[in-house]
Amino acid sequence: RGPRTPLPLSDGGKRWAGALLACMVTLFALDQIFPPPLSRVRDVSPVVLDHNGEWLMAFTTRQGTWRLEARLDEIDPEFQRRLVAIEDARFWWHPGVDPIALTRATLSYARSGVVTQGGSTITMQLARLLEPRPRTIQSKLIEIIRALQLEARLSKREILAAYLTMAPYGGNLEGVRAASRAYFQRDPQWLDDAEMALLIALPQAPEARRPDRHPEAARAARDRVLELFVAANLISERRAEEGRQIA
Contact by Cβ (8 Å): 96, 150: yes
pLDDT surpasses 90 at 219: yes
pLDDT of amino acid 136? 84
Residue scoring higher pLDDT (1 or 132): 132
For range 222-235, the mean pLDDT = 97
Number of H helices, E strands in the chain: 10, 4
pLDDT of amino acid 116? 45
pLDDT of amino acid 101? 79
Give the Cα separation of 247 and 196 in Å (integer).
14
Q: What is the mean pLDDT of the chain?
A: 87
DSSP string, 57-89: EE---TTS-EE----GGGS-HHHHHHHHHHH-T
Considering only 3-7, 81-85, 113-117, 217-221, which range has the smallest mean pLDDT? 113-117
Contact by Cβ (8 Å): 97, 148: yes
The proportion of the chain whose per-residue pLDDT surpasses 90, expressed as a percent, equals: 62
- Amino acid, res. 38: L
pLDDT of amino acid 26? 58
Give the Cα separation of 172 and 209 in Å (integer).
14
170-195 burial code (b ≥16 CB/10 A, e <16): bbebbbbbbbbbbbeeebbeebebbb
Instruction: With cut-offs at 50, 70 and 90, classify the pLDDT of residue 228.
Output: very high
pLDDT digits (tens, 9 = 90+) for 187-206: 999 999 999 999 999 999 99
The proportion of the chain whose per-residue pLDDT surpasses 70, expressed as a percent, equals: 81
pLDDT digits (tens, 9 = 90+) for 44-76: 988 888 777 777 778 889 888 999 999 999 999
Contact by Cβ (8 Å): 187, 74: yes
pLDDT digits (tens, 9 = 90+) for 130-171: 999 888 888 889 999 999 999 999 999 999 999 999 999 999
Give the Cα separation of 224 and 201 in Å (integer).
8
pLDDT of amino acid 52? 77
Considering only 44-58, 205-219, 225-239, which range has the smallest mean pLDDT? 44-58
